[in-house]
Amino acid sequence: MRGKYNITVENAFIRYEFTIQRNITVIRGQSATGKTTLVEMIREYNELPDTGINIRCDKTLAVLYGRDWQDRLANISDSIVFIDEQSRFVKTHEFAEAIKGSNNYFVIVTREKLSELPYSVTEIYGIRTRGKYAGLVGEYTANEFYRIYADIPTRTFEPDVIITEDSNSGFEFWNNVTDFCKCISAGGKSNIIKCLKEDAKADKKYLAIVDGAAFGAELEEMIQYIKYRNQNVEIYAPESFEYILLTSGLFKSNDINDKCNNTYDYADSVKYMSWEQFYSELLTAITKDTEMQYSKHKLNVYYLSERNMELVVNSLPDRLKIRS
């Protein structure tokens, strides 16, 4: 599946309106915020007659549950699948493997860390009440999704140490881009905080650069660590290193811009578990057999020229001061 879908789920008393644009969306938040009610309404709509529930979406909405979830999933196709937080199977390796290559989108209600799933930092939502409105049969409550981590720190930051989650091309670039910053590879997204703790020095400022497209499971712990360290730690979470290169100005192409700005129209969930895979494949394909040929494992020296490093760094948020 690919695409961006507007969804309305409503009855006479309550309405949910939201948009889904990736294969994995996570809904979090405390009890009594309407998460379970949303899933129950979708399930009732599908299983019971005359519920008074109305759903508007260009795709079928389904609910996955029960011990036989694998058999149920095998019979669901080209749908947006909702899973309530009571379904413990979402934390398992078996579930992660089952949805790999799926032509469905998944909306998972959970307050727990889903380490097996590569979901985006931008696709973690809460549900809030927008207000009460007069309907045809009385007053109804309107609810909407909001990005829980929309306010990832945005202060001006000049790091002494850069920590990357990978040890390949991204690390090579950041290691060469500045003379006054030490660069450390964490060797994986789950090692970022461990690496920060091991190197932590009170007089140093640390910038963690992560692939936002797949860092969702680690984000809450990272945000808490940033608060604990106060002014000493910051995070930068672009989609991926390849996304940075694609949107840096190195490539003058409306087609590339469209694929980066509207990735949901191109990154088919059957092929890409996360968008970082899409950007890596895109960059590799458009540079093949050229002087710009990209490899994720070894960075082409083309990207390390003074002019090109400057171009890439200038495309980063102004708040990040990583070059002298």
Question: pLDDT by residue (tens digit) across 56-114?
Answer: 999 999 999 999 999 999 999 999 999 998 899 999 999 999 999 999 999 999 988 99
Q: What is the DSSP string of 53-111?
A: -EEE-SSEEEE--STTHHHHHHT--SEEEEE-TT-GGGGSHHHHHHHTT-SSEEEEE-S
271 Cβ neighbours under 8 A, 6+ residues apart: 101, 277
Q: What is the pTM of this model?
A: 0.94
Exposed/middle/buried for residue 202 (C-beta within 10 Å: 0-12, 13-18, 19+): exposed
Identify the pLDDT of residue 324.
58
Counting every residue written for the chain, the total comes to 324
Identify the pLDDT of residue 322.
86
CB contact at 8 A, 7 and 80: yes
Distances (CA, A) of 156 to 207, 235, 264, 268: 11, 12, 31, 36
List pLDDT tens digits, range 191-233. 999 999 888 888 899 999 999 999 999 999 999 888 888 779 9
Cα torsion 101, 263, 174, 194 to 10°: value is: -50
75 Cβ neighbours under 8 A, 6+ residues apart: none
pLDDT at 241 over 80: yes
Residue identified by tokens 């720190």 is 153
Domains of the chain: 5-147 (3.40.50), 161-314 (no CATH)
List pLDDT tens digits, range 144-189. 999 998 766 667 899 999 999 988 999 999 999 988 889 999 999 9
Distances (CA, A) of 271 to 25, 114, 266, 274: 17, 21, 10, 9
DSSP class of residue 321 equals -
